[in-house]
């Protein structure tokens, strides 16, 4: 069994930003030499997310607006009494998910026609890591 590990670093311009990382992950699978297996892509920070959805600008804005409805930035949070100001980012990332587990088939990401992999940042403007672990043969 092969296991290949990589760490990606993202430093977004905006506090909340969604980056399409599908091509990057595809490249790492080729580099790993794994033909059949699984690929874990996971945020290593707890105010960020890895999720699969559609590459469509309007939908990205719908996600941002909806997350603000479900998790107001302007409420009082216990976490923020510690000096932090990112409680809402922890909750938003929980809705979007920490990780995606992806199938690798014949050396490629085995995704549906519109599936794209995103790094979701909810407390950005600083460098944060994503782990990619590819296992298989």
| Residue 36 token pair | 């059949």
Q: What are phi and psi of 68, to 5 degrees?
A: -65, -30
Select from 20, 27, 56, 108 the one that contacts its own copies (CB under 8 A): 56
CB atoms within 10 A of CB 11: 10
Select from 110, 125, 126, 127 the one that contacts its own copies (CB under 8 A): 110
- Burial-class residue 76 by CB neighbours within 10 Å (0-12, 13-18, 19+): exposed
Select from 20, 31, 59, 108 the one that contacts its own copies (CB under 8 A): 59
Select from 11, 23, 33, 66 the one that contacts its own copies (CB under 8 A): 66
Alpha helix stretches (DSSP H) within 1-137: 22-32, 57-70, 87-96
**Does residue 20 touch its own copies according to CB under 8 A?**
no
Query: Which residues sit at the interface with its own copies, rule CB under 8 A?
Result: 1, 3, 5, 36-38, 40, 42-46, 51-54, 56-59, 61-63, 66, 70-71, 77-82, 87, 90-91, 94-103, 105, 110-115, 129, 131, 133, 135-137
């Amino acid at each position: 069994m092969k296991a290949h590990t990589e760490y990606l670093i993202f430093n977004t311009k905006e506090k909340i930003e969604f980056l399409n990382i599908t091509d990057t992950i595809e490249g790492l699978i080729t580099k790993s030499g794994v033909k059949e297996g699984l690929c874990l892509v996971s945020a290593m920070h707890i105010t960020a997310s890895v999720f699969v959805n559609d590459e469509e600008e309007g939908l990205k804005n719908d996600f941002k607006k909806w997350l603000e409805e479900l998790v107001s930035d302007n409420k009082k949070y216990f976490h923020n009494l510690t000096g932090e100001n990112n409680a809402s980012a922890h909750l938003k990332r929980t809705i979007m998910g920490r990780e995606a587990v992806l199938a690798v088939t014949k050396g490629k990401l085995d995704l549906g026609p519109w599936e794209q992999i995103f790094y979701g940042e909810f407390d950005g403007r600083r460098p944060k890591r994503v782990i990619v672990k590819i296992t298989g043969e």
